[in-house]
Amino acid sequence: MAALFVSEEFLTEFEPPPLREDARFFVIARNGPIRAEGDHQDWFEDRTRVTNSIRIAALWALALSGDADDGSNPQPLARVTAFAVDPLEARENDAGELEGEHVVLYVAADGDILAEGTEAFDSLHSAVREWPEIIKSFAEAHD
């Protein structure tokens, strides 16, 4: 696992990427070979962990990237998805895409934060956007 140090100043000095007007809630996902079949990657997105701060979301993504980094994962290690609606309140609709749902940043294996609208983000997003999602719903967490 890679070492991670996040200073107190991160929350105040981090310049978030330009966000779409409908980006009001943020959920973080990490990747990894979560299923037992083979080496393919999945996103594990826990929609019971939601924030309305892109700064906190970026910090969570950095922390989860350490969890996802076993040395064998391809880039990226974590991502932040934005929503126009609170995914906790809309959990009954988990099967489909929620209003305003879109990826706003990735944390790369080297710790770089790649923001939506940059060439590096676009290249990475086109390579991994089709990775399957495993979503832990509120109901599953409380069964």
Q: What's the pLDDT tens digit per position in 17-40?
A: 899 999 999 999 888 665 555 556
Residues 111, 99, 22: CA angle, nearest 5 degrees: 65
What's the CA gap between 104 and 58, in Å, rounded? 10
Quick check: 64 and 28 in contact, CB under 8 A?
yes
pTM exceeds cut of 0.95: no
Confidence band of 7 (pLDDT split at 50, 70, 90):
confident
pLDDT score of 141: 46
Assess whether pLDDT exceeds 90 at residue 13.
no
**pLDDT at position 93:** 53
- Percentage above 90 pLDDT, the chain: 29
Q: What is the mean pLDDT of residues 94-105?
A: 83
pLDDT score of 72 more than 80: no
Look at 6 and 108; give whichever has higher pLDDT: 108
